[in-house]
Structure 1
């Protein structure tokens, strides 16, 4: 009897997990509207201030889509785009974009040394932790924790987001407090250097 109960519990648990997971093929059907700004597969945005969505991590992407739809994270350019999408649609979109390959950008050679030092070692003097601690030495992120892959992301977008965290205008989501604290200790020059370095990281 115990084995039967355990089997039922396990089966229900696996069904729930499968139901909650996104379907990349279904997500691709809804992704056409995203291509106008983020490019095909979310890999080549039309402007540097728009993020690449490809390969960021399904959990992270889903959380951001939920926050944007609920207006917890306010992005004027996204107004109304997600309104008619269900929670499953958002899961599917997240799975689709996560399955796409990140196109790595080119870091500014003049900023690589400073950016690398910050990304890999932080700044002990000002209490800035190493970005690699959460986002992986190669910039691949930490999918189970919902920390996004950063390697290859547009430097202009990264700069904008770090400044938004520093100013407290990006404060939505479970990990925002961590990033707001980190960014509050970064100078403009450090933000520029680490953003450039990350854009070429792979």
Structure 2
């Protein structure tokens, strides 16, 4: 990767990724405030990520992709469960449980550790992200149908919602997950997780400056 192979590359990469994730999260929060079901948004987001990365993974890694064994599939399943589905469920109760921040940290930390193991057994970031997105899509879709069976909940009515879902799927879910996997491979899960506060700062600034929402500290 040329210059990006240097020691500063993971730092720059993870900072940019978390900044982007913060902005995407702020957009998603605005859409959710409009009444869209959070599980529906998650399902669309993961589905779009799958469709976007599938051709890239197929052609880019077809000569280097190892065999997908049962063990590797299980790792991807639990990685999707901890990294995508559980986090999506937790956000539904954001602000209602005092210990939720700690729970989210445990979920994110577990995902980092599983992802570090996947990087060793299945060192193909694009294909790995596609598999994660497929499992995440199925998990979120099943939970969505259990929670709500109204067809209108799956209809994205306004342009902002459609734009947000596409951006969240292609960039926030697809490319950022590939980048995070690369950072974990280069510097490990502890280094990668240490930059998580950048996401919060980015979301706060974007929320206030671009979306013109008020910032509240405490009660």
TM superposition score category, shorter chain reference:
under 0.3
More helix per residue: 1 or 2?
2
- TM-score scaled to structure 1, two decimals? 0.24
Q: Which has the higher contact order (CA 8 A, sep 6+)?
A: 2
Rg comparison, structure with higher value: 1
